Amino acid sequence: MFDEFKARLAIALKPAQEKIFGSNNERLEFVMDSFYKLDPTQRNGVLGVLGSLVGGFVFVAVAVYFMRVNALSSELNSTFNALNELRALKQQEAMTSAKFDSLVDKIQVKTRTLNFKPFFEKLARDAKISLKNINDKNVEMDAQNPLSESIREVHVDMRLSKVSIPKLINFIVDIEKSGRFLRVQNLQIVGMYGNKLYFDVNLLVRGYKIIK
């Protein structure tokens, strides 16, 4: 099989060999004859040129080899850096996802039994504040906010009648410290004619409910 392969290879290479060296190596023999006809100085010059060409080819080949090795090394380093960054991002994503799930769970626990109107009416009674015109409405959250898929924002409007500043402050503190994720979003204090101790107050409180 090896001999057959050599024979087929010789047949396949014969056309190229004839084009390069000529029929029966005529071109090669002509070059060799021309070389030997030169005087020793010319021969040395030809050998020097050939040596320089070979040396230059070897140098270029080695330089290209090391350039490719360095490029490959840089690509490998970039790949490893990208993998490390990807691992770090995955860890960060997992931590963020865990915090997000924990926040949703907390809101669900704190607001599961929350009914806004009775809740604020009780706070007002405990604070001895006259509460009027309380209404709550759902508000669309920003679609870019990941909480929008799990949580609904609720705005509670209410009017407090004839309330003093100390009672108002205590009422607001009770709202925000109730542990129900409630925050005062807007506050409007209206003075009463002829009365500098009591005020009418319009209050907007932001709350949340879990989407079932």
What is the distance between the alpha carbons of residues 21 and 29, in angstroms, rounded to a whole number?
A: 8
Give 26's Cβ-side CA count (13 Å radius). Answer: 4
Q: Are the CB atoms for 209 and 137 separated by under 8 Å?
A: no
Distance of CA 181 to the CA centre of its chain: 30
Strand order in the sheet with 195-210: 130-139, 151-163, 195-210, 183-192
Contact 151, 104 (CB under 8 A): yes
Please tell me the pTM assigned to this model. 0.56
pLDDT tens-digit series, residues 35-50 = 666 677 776 776 777 7
Top-confidence residue, 56 or 6:
56
* pLDDT per residue as tens digits for the range 12-21: 656 666 666 5
Tell me the per-residue pLDDT of 103-162, one tens digit each, with 9 for 90 and over. 888 888 888 889 999 999 999 999 999 998 899 999 888 888 888 888 889 999 999 999
Residue 67 pLDDT greater than 90, yes or no: no
One-letter amino acid for residue 158 of the chain:
M
Q: Mean of the pLDDT values across residues 75-87? A: 88
Q: How far is CA 181 from CA 26, 104, 140, 191, 197, in A?
A: 98, 11, 17, 30, 31
